[in-house]
Structure 1
Amino acid sequence: MTLFPRSHVPLLRAGSAAMLLALAACGDKDGAPADPAPKYAAEIRRTAYGIPHIKADDDGGLGYGIGYAYAQDNVCLLAERIVTANGERAKYFGAEARGATADTAPNLASDFFYRLINEAEAVANAWQQQPAPMRALVEGYVAGYNQYLDERGKGGLPDACKNAPWVRSMTTDDMMKIVRRYAAEGAGSHFITELVSAVPPDAAVPAPPSRAATARRGSPSVIDPQYWQQQHARTGSNGVALGKNATENGQGLLLANPHNWWNGDLRFYQLHLTIPGKLDAMGASLGGMPMVSIGFNKDVAWTHTNNTSSHFTVHQLQLDPRDPTSYVVDGKSQPMIRKRIEVEVRQPDGSLATRSHDFYQTDVGVVMRVPDQLEWNRKVAYTLLDANMGNHRMLEQWRAMNSARSLDELRDGIDRIVGLPWVGTIAADKEGKTMYLDVTVVPNVPLSKEKACVPDAFRELAAGGVLVLDASTSACRPGNDPGAPQSGIFAGASLPRLQRDDFVQNSNDSAWLTNPAAPLTGFPSIVSLDAQEQSGRTRIGIAQLQARLAGTDGLPGRRISMPQLQGMLFSNRVYYAGQIMDDVLRACDGERQARAASGAMVDLAPACAKLRAWDRTANLESNIGFGYFASMWDQLYGSPLFWAVPFNAADPVGTPRGLRVDDAAGVTALRTALASAVLEMEASGWGLNSRWGEIQHTERNGKRIPIHGGRYQYGIYNVIASEPSKGGGREVTEGSSYVQTVMFDRNGPQAQAMLAYSQSVDPASPHYADQSELYSRKAWHTLPFTDAQIAADPKLSRIAISHKTKGTQ
């Protein structure tokens, strides 16, 4: 049912926001003066699955429509996002609680961090640097969100925030804070507790416990390259662009498969944005961002994957022996700047108390502490310098991409603006050209400076792309390039890129193997690493493309269609099973009994029978063999008894492979792992005849929707991660999110997509679970893009909204 509040004008046929302006300019038939023309006007057409198609005559009206539409679907999510970005979580939710995702810091630490990075001066500077169209877009968005709140009232909001004290009107400052919160996702937000735990040596105030010492116990610390490899793999993405030498019709074809959390700030939202004659782009946006982040227009389609460049540098301060809060640069002592941040904290009785923390700032960032690795003592301290805290160009960057008319124009805009914070770009156009651009905000540390400025103790970290620089000399600061839009970062044109007529791809490894026929080499460590072992997703992605183009995958021809590209994603092949399962089954040919790591003797015969019958996928119908394999892999991977053929940079797609089953120690280790896997499956309640679709699910309004796919570490292209749920089975936490394929033909872009977790977080919404059902069935939805396609959608509804008040600041 479509609601028409007083400010809405129903449209009985296709129309434009211009109709509202024209009507407002006319007086009534008695000659009475007309109402003032609306400051903002937009039309919101919704098609199947609640996708809003927002049309306006200018940027302000477009932002207004986006803000209103997003609030209709996710008002509580945006209201909480405002609380987070303003550092007010502890005020409303308590100090120790956490946000929606498992890796978030406790509220108090989160508040200290966001109050620090979103100080008034930084926010004002971000706003001042927005071009006029971006200001209009944001002001309109704020007006749209606020109008929705006014119309509904706090008592009319969804249960998650109904009458909540933390729901309030939005300001343009709030939007800048949210944008800066997204920018920090590439570095600073990972260091929250490390920053908050840093206090001067011998300080009377005890340091708060650090995430490195608590939640990460037994895991790599935040300065370990392995930590960042895991982050890129977990919430990373797959992207493939196919060109005229690879597609059936000789035009471009794109697969977008970003992975992220299914809850919280990084959820995608589908939308279609139109300013007639200026902009017409469709796809998905990070929640609260007023443009298309991943999508297409009539000329170009693009997607993003988290890249492996480091977006931060760590700096080792040589301290003044007289004062551990002063440091020496070029032989001269200079004081740190102490910045006190105060936060209100809700107490158990509901009262508020003020807590404070002192951060210590320098010209190379904020002092932090990583226990047992980077300590603040009387000789040295360490700072974090997040390059994206100077990046105020994100809105401008995506807007330029949304309106790009060719692949060259897309590239030129990215090179000029350098506003993408931590994602590389994969794109295809209607002419059949493809491109990968690894152009993001990266500290300008060339190899020569790395060699001269990284202390010997940190050379191993530098080899993995994490740089600790000597701060005692100003020559070791990140350099300035006159071609860069920001001091201290590389110019866009100096960063990796590849244009091809066959394919480019990325699955969160470095730019090196974008296409194995043209490796990208010779870049600084902080930008892209060469000759590194590739993830299973990269390997299966390249292997599938190569087999299809060579005609060796059992299918006819040597070209790729859109259904075939979709099939590569949703085959749910467990890549590493193809590398080791023959050896596992050889080990099954031994004695029936094997000793588990616990010492218990286990009968392997039933498990081995299931492994032989397993189809080596993570599909809904896959049997318990997947569980046995996953448990074995978790136990064995990385051990010295693992690979029979080690990684070889000359064969990066084919290696490493095989298990060491030709020696007794390797066989024993494998059989022990298999016996332990049997016990683990029994303890988990996964019966011998269980199917994966009976185990992994997302629960919506009491209904369990089975979800296919599996964890990244098994080499499954379609990443889905899940955790044990209270009622048994496993609840999805992260993985494939907005999934899109776009094929260009003579009629323009032909797009199919699905949003795996659906459009709304409100359980009362009809779009809370509908696309999750699609995802479960692997049922692609054809996106209506043209006016004719939108008008033909049987689920079409329309509203026109207008805004006549002026308070939006």
Structure 2
Amino acid sequence: MPRIIKTGFLGLAGLVLTVLTVVLVRGAIEAPAPADPAPMLARAANYDATIKRDTWGVPHIFGKRDVDVAFGFGFAHSEDDFATIQEVAIATRGELASVKGERAAITDYLVNLMGVWETVDARYESDLSPEVRRVIEAYADGVNYYAALHPEEAASGFLPLNGKDVAAGFIFKTPFFYGLDKVLMAVFEGRVGKSGGLSKEGVDAFLPTDEPHPIGSNGVAVSPARSADGATRLLVNSHQPFTGPVAWYEAVLESDEGWHVAGGFFPGSPFMLHGHNAHLGWANTVNEPDLVDVYQLTLKPDDEDQYLLDGEWWDFEKRMARIRVKLWGPFWWTVEREVLRSEHGPVLKTPNGAYAVRYAGIGEIRQVEQYYALDKATQLSEWMEAMKLQALPSINYLYADRQGNIAYIYNAQFPDRKEGVDWSEILPGDDSSLIWRDYLPFDDVPMIVNPNSGYVFNANNTPFRATAANDNLRQEDFSEALGIQSDMTNRAKRLEETYGADTSISGEEFRRYKYDVSYSEDSRMAEIIDEVLAADPGDDVDLKEAQAILRAWDRVANVESRGAALAVLTAEPVVTAGISGQTPPAPMDTLRTAMNRLKTHFGRLDPEWGEVNRFRRGAVDLPVDGAPDVLRAIYGTREEDGTLTAHGGDTFIMFVEWDKAGRLTSESTHQFGSATLDISSPHYADQAPLFVGKRTKPVFFTAEELGPHIAEEYRPGKRAAAAN
């Protein structure tokens, strides 16, 4: 080897060794010290909670005080889903890249850009009541107690969790439900027009992903006026991913201080997010009003640290975000990125210019305050007072109670915007009159309370079709500046065609309509199929066969259907692209792709839908009814063998009923079971057959109902070693 080359290699090797040494030394210096478990173990003595798990493994937490219950729930929740709770907290701290690597750095940057921790530090003591702070801190203590007993499960630097982490999780996640992350990503990527290219898929609250996420939720409330037996009924049916930071977890909480709820919780949340208490309940669906405004800023030609506003040059608020990025093995690196803020809000500098973003929920910390108040409300007036806190930036509410009241609220923090401005487009950043400072009062929010029709519904559709035509809100009564959506989903149309067409709904019908697997004649699916059928097949034998299959298809996606596979595989890419703001492919092209896939893997164009559409969990592998945007919603991942594996859609489902005497019963099902991560547990997939079979189990809401069905009873940290 020539000496000069040998010397070059030695020099390169020395450089690499130097870099690795710096990385390792820096890692040793800056790596967080292990947490001392002693304080976490000691704090557990401040609480007195009992965990009773029913025969389905669902935890029922009992305690004298709300804080006892919150502590016990934090522990039980961790027993089943500690890894996800931990990941939620790490992401909320802006430290996910230290665990997930470079692809998570954008999440950490968003935490900094949104000023999550500036909000927490400034408002935790002033804006949250001592009662709420004690509850969220108790939940954190429960998580910490579990982690102290299982230190091998805790990531380096994670412990201890605290109440601020819990509050920060709500600050970070809630704006993403109406699409803030999609707008920010569009600005990042140069797609700055708010009305174009904003995707409901491809980005979740934590990680960019190529996996489409479920789109939708269903909620229905029926009063005695529309029930065949005088009962009041509520359907809780949010569509979520099957796993991850926004996957549902079921629990029942009961304290002697009046906190008694059953329903769905997210990892990191001590509060029931939707479900019921003894007196009332509610279901949530995602709504998408225009709650984000984007401003194009004019930068000073000779100083890009200043922007123009009302004829004067203003300095950006500026700080540096330090993002720790895992490289490989023990190696990591810290990168620094500038974080800017203007009078409008967070600022992004892109190759296309500088843009500021102002959004509903900016600087808000009281989400936990509102959820706690909702959980403890005992009648409609108290529940409405909790809603008037207006701490939640979006989300529809479908309400019902034991007195027979029902309601629908298109909830949002509507910016108090200037009239006569097209707020759907990019705004000039040099006019301060376009920077709104407050929200409209709660009374201006679209809502329907006790309509004569006796029912309300939502399936992510416009609030102007939420009940019978005569009781609906009128679009002309609301300002265009509110940015209220006007779209209808297939699910919303089917709700009108089922619940809306039946003026005397029995309990059996209420359940059956929820599991409807049909596409409306007035759906996008029907339009796509009509387009395919209108094409001239010429001499193409396969195309003629495909058209015959689709012509005979009844638009029903049950497991026996011989047309659903071809129809869904043809239409889904078209619909998904349209929702994502992309140019949809031609239906004839997606039809050809679907035909090829089915021929290749199933040897025919019309396999039964159940052969293709599968539900898989551990050893469970079952055919499953449902499809995208039907009331029995199932969204699947395309597998190499041609099948689809359900990954989201219908998840936690709850049917709540108060009979005409006000007696409460409820039933539920979870797509998997209470043991969300432990494959060795009998509750890892024990509810899967119920879920696939469209069946439910009782919710043992009271201690008396639970009594005969207790499988385990223990205090946190005292569970029998053999228990799962």
- When normalised by structure 2's length, the TM-score is 0.82
For residue 714 of structure 2, what is the amino acid of its counterpart?
Answer: I
> 1:797: Cα distance to partner?
2.0
Q: Distance in 1 between matches of 2:117 and 2:587?
A: 58
The equivalent of 1:364 in structure 2 is: 344
**Matches for 1:492-531 after TM superposition, within 5 Å:** 492-499=442-449, 500-501=451-452, 502-515=454-467, 516-520=469-473, 521=475, 522-527=477-482, 529=484
Counterpart Cα distance in 2 of 1:533 and 1:141: 39
Does 2:363 align with 1:408? no
Q: Are 2:398 and 2:408, in contact at CA under 8 Å, matched by a contact in 1?
A: yes
Change (3 A) 1:548 1:136: same
Q: Which residue in 1 is equivalent to 2:518?
A: 573
Provide the rounded CA distance (Å) in 2 between the counterparts of 1:758 and 1:134. Answer: 29
Is there any run of 5+ residues in structure 2 with no aligned partner, and where? 1-41, 205-212, 579-585, 719-724
Cα displacement string for residues 481-507 of structure 1 (whole angstroms, at most 9, x for unaligned residues): xxxxxxx22221221111124111111
Counterparts in 2 of 1:84-99, with a 5 A limit? 84-95=91-102
Deviation string 1:117-166 (CA, Å, 9 cap, x unpaired) is 35643222342121111111111111111111122331xxxxxxx47546
Change (3 A) 1:126 1:70: farther
CA distance in 1, matches of 2:312, 2:548: 72
Partner of 1:490: 440
Q: Secondary structure at the match of 1:427?
A: strand
Greater shift after overlay, 242-251 or 680-689?
680-689
Residues 7-28 of structure 1 deviation map (CA, whole Å, 9 limit, x = unaligned): xxxxxxxxxxxxxxxxxxxxxx
Who is 2:607 aligned against? 690
Correspondence for 1:476: 434
The aligned residue for residue 167 of structure 2 is 176
Whether 1:750 and 2:660 are equivalent positions in the alignment is no
Q: How many residues align?
A: 652
Find the aligned partners of 2:157 and 2:43 in 1 and give their Cα distance.
33
1:224 is aligned to 2:139: no
Structure 1 residue 762, shift from structure 2 partner:
2.5
1:81 Cα deviation from its structure 2 partner: 1.5
Structure-2 residue corresponding to 1:607: 546
Matched with 2:13 is none
Structure 1 distance, partners of 2:551, 2:277, is: 47
Superposition deviation, residue 325 in structure 1? 2.9
How far apart are 1:344 and its partner, in Å? 1.6
2:673 is the alignment partner of 1:732: no
> Does 2:216 align with 1:236?
yes
Instruction: Decide whether aligned partners of structure 1 residues 338 and 505 sit closer, same or farther in structure 2, where only a CA change above 3 A counts.
Output: same
Deviation at 1:38, TM superposition (A): 3.9
8 Å CA contact 1:594–1:672 kept in 2: the answer is: no
Q: Is the 1:325–1:335 contact (alpha carbons within 8 Å) kept by the matching residues of 2?
A: yes
Deviation at 1:296? Answer: 0.9
Residue identity in the other structure for 1:85:
T
Q: Secondary structure at the match of 1:347?
A: strand
**Structure 2 vs 1, CA of residues 607 and 127 (structure 1 numbering), >3 Å: closer, same or farther?**
same
Cα distance between partner residues in 2 of 1:255 and 1:519: 20
State the AA in 1 paired with 2:495. Answer: G
What secondary structure sits across from 2:81 in the alignment? helix
Give the 3 Å change call, closer, same or farther, for CA 151–470 of structure 1 in structure 2.
same
Is the Cα–Cα contact under 8 Å of residues 239 and 257 in structure 1 kept in the other structure? Answer: yes
1:536–1:575 Cα contact (<8 Å) kept: yes
Change (3 A) 1:524 1:262: farther
Change (3 A) 1:686 1:617: farther
1:711 aligns with 2:649: no
Match of 1:341 in 2: 321
Cα 1:728–1:675 shift into 2, 3 Å: closer
Q: Does 1:422 align with 2:394?
A: yes
Output the CA distance in 2 between the equivalents of 1:93 and 1:53.
33
Partner of 1:158: none
2-structure distance, mates of 1:717, 1:435:
21
The question of whether the paired residues in 2 share the 8 Å contact of 1:109 and 1:192 is answered with no
1:87 alignment partner, SS class: coil
CA RMSD of aligned residues (A): 3.3
Instruction: Return the offset for 1:437.
Output: 1.2
Is the partner of 2:339 in helix, strand or coil? strand
What SS does the corresponding residue of 2:381 show, helix, strand or coil?
helix
Query: Which of 566, 571, 581 pairs up with 1:628?
Result: 566
Equivalent position SS for 1:388: coil
In the TM superposition, what are the counterparts of 1:170-569 in structure 2 within 5 Å?
170-185=161-176, 186-191=178-183, 193=185, 197=188, 210=189, 223-224=194-195, 227=198, 234-348=214-328, 350-368=330-348, 375-376=352-353, 381-415=354-388, 417-445=389-417, 449-451=418-420, 454=421, 459=422, 462=423, 466=424, 468-479=426-437, 488-499=438-449, 500-501=451-452, 502-515=454-467, 516-520=469-473, 521=475, 522-527=477-482, 529=484, 532-549=486-503, 559-569=504-514
Distance 1:37 1:318, change over 3 A: closer
CA distance in 1, matches of 2:559, 2:76: 34
- Aligned pairs (5 A) from 1:158-173: 162=153, 164-165=155-156, 168-173=159-164
Q: 1:387 to 1:675 in 2, by over 3 A?
A: closer
Give distance in 2, aligned partners of 1:523 and 1:432: 28
Call closer, same or farther: CA 1:164–1:676 in 2, change over 3 Å.
closer
Question: Structure 1 residues 323 and 164 mapped into 2: Cα distance closer, same or farther (>3 Å)?
Answer: closer
Q: Does 2:84 align with 1:77?
A: yes
8 Å Cα contact 1:315-1:384 kept in structure 2: yes
Amino acid at match of 1:107: A
Given the superposition, is the C-alpha separation of residues 248 and 77 from structure 1 closer, same or farther in structure 2, using an over 3 Å criterion? same
Between the aligned partners of 1:634 and 1:434, the Cα distance in structure 2 is 35
Change (3 A) 1:682 1:801: same
What letter corresponds to residue 137 of structure 2 in structure 1? E
Matches within 5 A, 1:665-684: 677-683=594-600
Task: Check 1:580–1:260 CA distance in 2 against 1; reply closer, same or farther (3 A cut).
Answer: closer
Q: How far did 1:635 drift?
A: 7.4
| Runs (5+) with no aligned partner, structure 1 | 1-34, 96-105, 155-161, 198-209, 214-220, 480-487, 550-558, 596-600, 641-668, 804-809
Superposed CA deviations along residues 490-533 of structure 1, whole A, max 9, x for unmatched, are 22122111112411111112211112322322223353537x44
* Contact 2:295 2:357 (C-alpha < 8 Å) held by counterparts: yes
SS of 1:364's partner is: coil
Sequence identity (%): 22
1:121 aligns with 2:115: no
Farther off after superposition, 759-768 or 678-687: 678-687
The SS at the match of 1:122 is helix
Give the direction of change, closer, same or farther, for the CA distance of 1:147–1:230 in structure 2 (3 Å limit).
closer
TM-score by structure 1 length?
A: 0.74
Cα–Cα, structure 1 residues 442 and 228, in superposed 2: closer, same or farther, change >3 Å?
farther
| Matching of residue 42 in structure 1 with residue 49 in structure 2 | yes
Q: Would you say 1:799 and 2:718 are equivalent positions?
A: no
Shift of 1:440: 2.2
The 2-side partners of 1:420 and 1:705 are apart by 38
Pairing 1:54–2:61 present? yes
What residue is the counterpart of 2:134 in the other structure? 136
What is the identity, as a one-letter code, of the residue corresponding to 2:245?
Answer: D
Offset of residue 294 of structure 1: 0.7
